Amino acid sequence: MNAPKKVAFYTLGCKLNFSETSTIARSFEGEGFQRVDFSEVADIYVINTCSVTENADKRFKTIVKQAQKANPNAFVAAVGCYAQLKPHELADVDGVDLVLGATEKFKITDYLNDLSKNDFGEVHSCEIEDADFYVGSYSIGDRTRAFLKVQDGCDYKCTYCTIPLARGISRSDTLENVLKNAADISAQGIKEIVLTGVNIGDYGKGEFGNKKHEHTFLELVKALDEVEGIERLRISSIEPNLLKNETIEFVSKSNSFVPHFHVPLQSGSNAILKLMRRRYMSELYTERVAKIREVMPHACIGVDVIVGFPGETDEHFLETYHFLNELDISYLHVFTYSERDNTPAAEMEGVVPMKVRNKRSKMLRGLSVKKRRAFYESQLGSTRTVLFEGENKAGYIHGFTENYVKVKTPWNPELVNTLQEITLTEIDTDGLVRFKTTEPVLG
């Protein structure tokens, strides 16, 4: 009897990519492959690519080299966003045998007729207009939380973004299938589900392969809140214009949705928001934050922001800096603008020198540290529930409270994947929070 073929995966980019890698991995396991770690010898290496940051493009070549080092004769396949946008560029990378675009990636096992190395990379990529069907996914990367994909693609036309080119139109999973996947995840003893998608507030669109809305995001949230056995549900990232007051109010009273919102802003300057073709102005963003604070004063609010967009003057940047400084938010994810082929922003005037972009990025990262510290300090003395993770990090176990405060305590394997009621007591030198236990371990 032949030993099973081995397959290894490497994921670049977002939570959505992680959920899709897991689904692709399960299709390999269904065909009798054995999944191994990327650092081990495998017959096939699958790299799920990302196009959002400049680094992701460059890292791809490094990862291919890692695979070749582990097994020079292995078959290397590239899938994902970068594979859709620039398939031939990836196919030209030494060692790459197969490149699959947006519609083909979930059928990867169909393309593996034989695993002999190709002289050149074979490309199967669609016109992005063909990416109009939905493939549900969820990832179970660790025992603690799972990423559940509910939506894919985007109909927005932000001038800096290639995601509509890489993932196609906005489309959603059926409510029935999302609930089935949530129940499957729950049955595996996982305590937290993070909802992911490209534009999840747009959920419901394309449930039938057209623009008809059968369900809304609020209906999805309400239905998931009823699923038995899920302790926590977290909304990953939602556009401010799609985060409605009704959703915020529902989360504040919900059984399992946690008080944590990640809401992309991108710029605090209305002039720049217009150039970016965002669908709101800064005033709406202020209203959303105020609404969250009104009904959930202890909520964690994260913000995405882009610096160095074409046309961003020092005045525009300072407008963003002051806007964020005065806003009652908890942390920032700062992105340095990088040009992307086939986007309107790449053709715009007023290019900001890279040195200036980096300086602005550093300033906002500093502000983020200050904001997170202030948020953590505001939580000291409060009683929260923490979900512990599974990794021993230098003798400590880490976990997150429902409102996303990261805590630590000396390693104890019995705490892994348990929920525990604690009182937050002090901030350690590394910026994480210490606590005292108020309840016995909850299994």
Q: Which helix (H) or strand (E) holds 422?
A: strand 419-427
Each residue's pLDDT tens digit, 391-432: 888 899 999 999 999 999 999 999 999 999 999 999 999 899
Burial of 300 (0-12, 13-18, 19+ CB in 10 A): buried
Alpha helices by DSSP H, 204-340: 217-224, 245-253, 270-276, 282-295, 314-326
Higher confidence at residue 283 or residue 104?
Answer: 283
Residue 51 pLDDT grade (very low, low, confident, very high; cuts 50, 70, 90): confident
- Taking the C-alpha atoms of residue 200 and residue 172, their distance in angstroms, rounded to an integer, is 9
CA angle 52, 56, 62 (to 5 degrees): 170
Residue 354 has pLDDT above 50, yes or no: yes
What predicted TM-score, i.e. pTM, was given to this entire model?
0.79
Residue 441 has pLDDT above 60, yes or no: no
The mean per-residue pLDDT over the stretch 352-379 comes to 95
Q: What is the DSSP letter of 139?
A: E
- Taking the C-alpha atoms of residue 80 and residue 92, their distance in angstroms, rounded to an integer, is 16
CA R_g for the chain: 22
In sequence order, the 6+-apart residues with CB closer than 8 A to the CB of 366 are: none
> With b meaning 16 or more CB within 10 Å and e meaning fewer, what string describes 10-38?
bbbbbbbbbbbbbbbbeebeeeebeebeb
* Predicted local confidence at residue 90, as pLDDT: 86
Burial of 439 (0-12, 13-18, 19+ CB in 10 A): exposed
Helix (H, G, I), strand (E, B) or coil at 153: coil
CA angle 330, 335, 338 (to 5 degrees): 170
Each residue's pLDDT tens digit, 315-350: 999 999 999 999 999 999 999 998 888 899 999 999
Structure tokens at 407: 């805590």
Closest by CA to 197, choosing from 231, 224, 169, is 169
Q: What is the DSSP letter of 203?
A: T
Which DSSP string corresponds to 331-373? EEEEEE----TT-GGGG-S-PPPHHHHHHHHHHHHHHHHHHHH
Give 256's Cβ-side CA count (13 Å radius).
22
Structure tokens at 305: 């922001």
Structure tokens at 359: 């300086």
* Predicted local confidence at residue 443, as pLDDT: 45
- Taking the C-alpha atoms of residue 247 and residue 140, their distance in angstroms, rounded to an integer, is 26
**Is 308:337 a contact under the CB 8 Å cutoff?**
yes
* Predicted local confidence at residue 121, as pLDDT: 54
Q: Please provide the average confidence, as pLDDT, over all residues in the chain.
A: 87
The mean per-residue pLDDT over the stretch 5-33 comes to 86
Residue 227 has pLDDT above 70, yes or no: yes
**Is 146:194 a contact under the CB 8 Å cutoff?**
yes
Residue 211 has pLDDT above 70, yes or no: no
Residue 120 has pLDDT above 60, yes or no: no
